[in-house]
Structures are given as C-alpha cells and as structure tokens.
Structure 1
C-alpha cells in the first residue's frame, strides 16, 4: 500500500515537472524569437528612415492593441479552452511572419508593412499573454506556483539580455527579412510544444461559462474586483507603481546621457544591468520557501527602490561635476542592477497572491483589467516625467518618485488584512 502511494506521488511530481518544463521551453523559444525580431525591426526602422518619430510610432502601434484589447482577451480566456487560445495565437503569429517574409522579399519591407505587421502581432500577443498568465495556476500545483512564476520571470529577463545581443549579431550577417522567417519558425515551434501542456493539471471547480455579451462580462469582472478587497488593492497598487516608475524611467536617459554626458554604449550597459538583476533575483526567489515573508518582501522592496530612486539623481549635483565617467558608469550599473532585483521581490509576491485569490472563473478578465490599467497609465507617467525634466530638474523628479514609493510602502505596511493573506 505504501509503495502504491509513493508511486502515485512520484507520478504526480513527474507530471508537474513535465508541465513546467514544456511551458518554460515554449515561452523561451517564443520570447527569444520575439525579442530578436523586435530588436531587428527597431534597428531597421531607425536606419532606413533615420527618424526617431518613426521608431516611436512603431512602439505606439505595438502598445495600443494591448491597452484596448486586454479586457476582451480576458473575456476570451475565461470563455473558451485556454490551450486552444495559446496554441492558435502562437500559430497565427508564426503564419503571419512567414507570409510577410516572401512578400518583403518581393516588394521590399516598407515602413507601412512594418507597422501593419507589428500591429497584428501586438493583437495576437495580447490574447496570448493574457491567456497564458491566466493559465499558470492550472498548469502546476499550489506548491510550485512560486517556482513557475519565478522561472517565467527569469526567462523574460534572460530574453531581454540575450535577445538584443543575438539580434545585433544576426542583423550584421543576415538581411532583415530573415528575421521574419526566424521569428515565424520560433512561434510555430512554441505552439507545437504548447500542445503537450496539460492546462487542466490543477483542476479548478466547474465553471458556468454561459455566453453573455462581452461588455457585460467585463462589467461583471469589475463588480467582482469591487467585492474582492485584496484584488482591488493590488490593481490600485499596480496602477500607482506603473505611473511613478514610468516617470522615473523617463529620467534615466536624460540624467545619464544629457546631464552627465555618458555615451549611448554606456547607457546600453546600464540598461543591461537592470535585466541581469531581474534574472539573478528571479532565480533566487525560486529557491525561497513557498509563501514565506511575501509581505515583508513587498515592503522592503518598495523601501529599497525608494532609496535607489533618490540616489539616482545624486551625481547631478555640482559637487560631483568632476567625477570620472567610469565611476559614474559603475554607480548607475549598481543602481539599475539593484532596481531590477528589487522589482522581482515586489512584483512576484503580489502577482502570485493575485493568482491565488482570483477565482478561475474571473482570472482572465481580471488579468485583462490589470493589463489595461497598467499599460494605459504609463504614457501619462512618461508625459508628466518629461514635463518635470523640461521645467524643473532630473534630480527633483527622481527624488519625488522615490518619496512617492516610500509613501506607498508606509500605506502598504498598515494594511493588516493584506498582510494575513501574504503569510
């Protein structure tokens, strides 16, 4: 009898690891293809048009669908088979790029064709990302929810580091059109691997998926959020953090390149440090005990990021005018590495708590609302940050951002109901 129980446990454990492995490998292949292509497209647009506005327009076109369609993607994720949505959207991304490849070889890759391709890819990726995030609690058991989220974050960080490097290397040896083919094959390979994921491993209670009008379902998700205090707090928290952090991000290139005169290559190294910090601390987080000290991680991370933001503007003070460029480079690498690591310990506990506290019936729509709220607030933060830089100073902007993070950490620390849920 004992041997039978042990065999069942081993079988269950192996099934979880197989599910996790297939999920992570699929994400790795898909993300690397996307990062390489995005880097190549960015370089291509800048070099062929010579216009920063054209590059910005490409970024805007890739962002708008996510802002508008995230709630609708959430409804779809709650209505139909999530495996079908994930596989089909990845296949369609691959097919789109493989179709554009011979078209670009025949008539050339015009700027208009780039915009159309990026636009449709953004639509498909919005539905894919929302559905995949919604599915994570169903792919693994409760014990491994932290691990799969940590590994997923690590893969995203790794792709952010290695993708542009590979993209730059390949871009030097192959025409831009090859990137379309490489990315298309990556998406299809990812879709094939996702077919073997068991999306019902951790079965949720039976859900009544009665078809209602989409807007009614989005409204029902809003009503659901209002009744779930913890989810409402996390949504408000995410909007605030994204707004402040967007303003902070705008300040970095201005402080580093304009005020301090570091080169674009040095700024690239500083940006890489952020992704490296995220990668290393995501792996560290995966090794920590499940559901231990999540609340403390969030509070301490907010305080650390607050201090780092305030420190960002220190080199702009007159007493540091004669500082060596190498010293400033090391200083900002340490700052960005630390911010990247601290954000892991801020984002993962709150995201995992939201996964646990959201009913499977509403998880897709809630993720969609979170995506729209977070993305739509970023342009406002960037605009406000830009105005601060034009009319006040970079030092004042990052100090205020740090102060706001400190205030939210104090507010967060006083929410006893939330504290109990993290433990």
Structure 2
C-alpha cells in the first residue's frame, strides 16, 4: 500500500471511528440517563445510586490490567469485536429480563458490571490502537474528533432521555442501546488496526504468549523510564477519588435536593457535552498543545472551582429559572475543563509510549486512576445521605486544588519540560 493510500485509509478511520463512537455513546447515554433516574426515583437514596456507580467502576479497575495484557499480546481488532459483541449480549439479556419479570436493582447492577467489563477491554484496546489507525500528525485531531462524537451523543441523548422518560417504558431505552451497539460493532469491524502501527512484535494467532505477570512486570519496568507519565498516574489516583463528590453529588443535589425536572436535568447533561464539544472542536483546528502538564494544572483548578460552585444554590436562594441557568453555565464549564485536561494528556501518551507497551501503560493508568474511585463513591454516597451537601462539595473542591498545586508545582513542571526552563532562562538572562 502506497503512502497516499495509507493516508486515505487513515482518513476513513478518522470518520468511521468518530461515527462508531457517536452511535455507541448515544445508546449508552440514553440507557444511563434512564437507569439513573429510575434508581433515584425508585429508592430516593444516594447510596443506591452510588452502588450502581460502583458496579461500573469496580469491575473496570479489576479488569484493566488484564485488558492491557490482552491489548499488547492478542489481536486488537479481534479483542474489540469480541468485547462489543459481549456488550450486545448483556443488553439483550437485561431487555429479556425486563420484558419477562420487570426490572430489579439486582438485574441492573449485574448488567452494569458486565457492561463495565466489556467497555474496559474495548476502551483500553481502542485507546492503544489510535496511533495504528491514523498517522502521527493527526493523532490530536483523531482524539478531538473522538471526543466531539462522544459530546454530540451526550448532547442529544440526555435531552431525548428527559423527554422520553415517563412517556415510554425502560425496555424502549434498552432497545435503543441494543441497536446502537450493533451498528457500532459493524463499523468497527471494517477498520485496519495495524495500518500505522509501529510494533516490533505483532501478535499471531496460536503463538505462545508471555505470562501475564511477566508482561505486567515489563510494563512497570518500562513505566519507570517515563517520569512524566508517573506524575500523571499519581495525580489521576487522587483527583479521581475526590471527583466522586461530583459524580455522586451532582445528580443527588439537583434531583433530590433541588427538585430539578427530568427534562431540564437532561438539558443540563447535554450542556456538559456542549462544553466538551466546543473545546474538542477548538483542539481539532489548533496546533498541538506544547506543555500538556501546565494545561492540566490550570484545568484541574478550574474543574475544582466548578465542583464547589454546585453547592451555591443550596446556600443562596435562586428562582427555578435562575438556578437552571446557573447550572447550565457550570456544566458548560466542567465539560470544557475535562476536555482541555484529558485530550492533550492523551495525545502526549500516544506519542511518548511505544506501541508494544501502550496497552499495559494505559491499563496501569486506568487502574491507578480508578483504584480509589469505588471507595470514594461509597464514602460520598454515605456522606451525601448524612452530611450537608455544600460542606462535602466545598471541602472536596479545596482538596483537589491543593493536589494540583502540589503535584504540578513549578519544580515538577521544570523537570518535565527542561527545554522550557532553558528558554525562560535565556529570556531572563
């Protein structure tokens, strides 16, 4: 295949990948919206809502090391197809149960666990494959387009979910998710995951694989040579724990404390995605961010301020309309901050980690980022049931700011970007 043909094929991958993510995320968000509302309205408890989050987080944390091993030692395309086919079966199973016996919390929790497992294998493998799907010059564009597709789906899905909720049954939401997953599976099967890959060892079917513990040991040894990525992993470990204050508290505060209507709540969920969409579009047209850690530092501080802002209407009287506008602005901001943090860091990892180790390094990052989240989700679930929500949000926001300032202090930034330090020294004389 000539270079021109490869670039043309890479362009096909860009748009197919974007379309696949758009469709599958649309289905997942419609389902997630309906299930979250169902649990909160059925039980009225932040604890039960948090348990469903745990069923999503805990399996992902446990499975991530295995997913990284599989991504580096087996066919990435086959892994993605098998994982997505399994998610289709899980959705079909819950649909069957709901039609025969009606939904129960147990059935929802089991399905959430299964979907979390399948999405872990497909997600880590897909992330490991981006540099194999498109050429190096378009990696930021690919990741930004991917985020744009997720954002577009996240805009439409909650708004549609808010309108449909109460008008149609839960099985209708499941059917939408099932169809979307099937279409995404078909699209993904048409892509060549080795097109631009630079791997010294391409997995061959039937070939003996190295043992899991040996493979993971090599991954950790490789990671020791990447101090910047180590810094990112430790930041993710702590920030994601305290981000549970938003994941549990946002829905609990708006639905239970402030009585937000389902259709308005859906619009706010869409605003979160609009913020992501706007920043993702910006990143597709601008040049690559030169110092991702600096961007991440100030983005994290902004994120923390928004999390604290969620508590303001609990302390200051707002009319319903003013409260809605206030949260609309906050959700636009939080979506923007998450994108300006995650996308440049993701591009940096795609370019700085060798293809042969990408699955393991990404799985280590995912595991460390998620390992404290189940504990955080449980703690915040209980805290919101027993402690004033405003105190939980303000204290958590303050801790996140402290972590960003300490772990990305000037000396750390200088070590990560010595060329920047040298340039500043030349300028200042």
TM-score, with structure 2 as normaliser: 0.82
1:366 aligns with 2:366: no
SS of match in other structure, 2:372: helix
Partner deviation per Cα, 1:32-62 (whole Å, 9 max, x = no partner):
1222222233344455666655444333223
Aligned CA distance change for structure 1 residues 204 and 31 (closer, same or farther; 3 Å):
same
Unaligned runs of 5+ in 1: 1-6
- Secondary structure, in 3 states, of the residue corresponding to 2:367? helix
2:333 aligned with 1:335: no
CA contact (8 A) 2:383 2:392 kept: no
The correspondence for 1:91, drawn from 85, 94, 98, is 85
Q: How far apart, in 2, do the equivalents of 1:256 and 1:179 lie? A: 22
1:201-350 to 2 correspondence within 5 Å?
A: 201-207=195-201, 211-247=209-245, 252=250, 262-265=258-261, 270-292=268-290, 294-305=292-303, 308=306, 321=316, 326-350=321-345
Q: SS of 1:264's equivalent?
A: coil
The 8 Å contact of residues 280 and 341 in structure 1, kept in 2 or not, is answered as yes
CA distance in 2: counterparts of 1:276 and 1:97, whole angstroms: 27
Tell me the TM-score normalized by structure 1: 0.83
Q: Does 1:140 align with 2:138?
A: no
Task: Flag the 1:118–1:339 CA change in 2: closer, same or farther, 3 A.
Answer: closer
Question: Which deviates more from structure 2 when the two are superposed, residues 293-302 or residues 89-98?
Answer: 293-302
| Aligned pair partner of 2:25 in 28, 31, 44 | 31
CA contact (8 A) 2:19 2:149 kept: no
Counting only pairs closer than 5 Å after superposition, residues 400-419 of structure 1 correspond to structure 2 as 400-401=398-399, 403-404=401-402, 407-408=405-406, 410-411=408-409, 414-419=412-417
**Quick one: distance in 1 between partners of 2:110 and 2:292?**
42
Q: Deviations over 1:181-224 (max 9, x none)?
A: 33223222211111111101112132276622223322322222
Task: Decide whether aligned partners of structure 1 residues 134 and 249 sit closer, same or farther in structure 2, where only a CA change above 3 A counts.
Answer: same
Say if 1:396 and 1:286 are closer, same or farther in 2 by CA, change over 3 A. same
User: Aligned pair 1:186/2:180, yes or no?
Assistant: yes
Change (3 A) 1:11 1:182: same
Distance 1:174 1:404 in 2: 46
- Paired with 1:60 and 1:250, the residues of 2 have a C-alpha distance of 11
Tell me whether 1:390 sits opposite 2:387 in the alignment: yes
8 A contact 1:207–1:361 mirrored in 2: yes
1:177–1:323 Cα change, 3 Å: closer
Aligned partner of 1:122 in structure 2 is 116
1:230-250 per-residue CA deviation (whole Å, 9 max, x = no partner) reads 221221122233234334555
How many angstroms apart in 1 are the aligned matches of 2:201 and 2:310?
49
Q: Does 1:197 align with 2:210?
A: no
The match for 2:349 among 350, 354, 368 is 354
Structure 1 residues 413-422 or 69-78, which shifts more? Answer: 413-422
Q: How does 1:42-191 map to 2 (within 5 A)?
A: 42-46=36-40, 53-191=47-185
Measured after TM superposition, the shift of residue 409 of structure 1 is 7.0
Distance 2:46 2:304 in 1: 31
Change (3 A) 1:296 1:393: closer
Q: Could you tell me how far apart the structure 2 residues matched to 1:170 and 1:253 are?
A: 18
SS at match of 2:224: helix
Residue in 2 that maps onto 1:378: 373
SS of match in other structure, 2:193: coil
Distance 1:85 1:257, change over 3 A: closer
Closer, same or farther in 2 for the Cα pair 1:421/1:213, shift >3 Å? farther
Pairwise CA distance, 1:413: 6.6
Q: Is the 8 A contact 1:303 1:409 kept in 2?
A: no
C-alpha deviation, 1:226, in angstroms:
2.0
**How many pairs align?**
412
Deviations 1:294-348 (Å, cap 9, x if unpaired)? 455334424444554566666777xxx4665544543443233223212211111
| Alpha-carbon shift at residue 366 of structure 1 (Å) | 1.5
Q: Is the 8 A contact 2:64 2:366 kept in 1?
A: yes
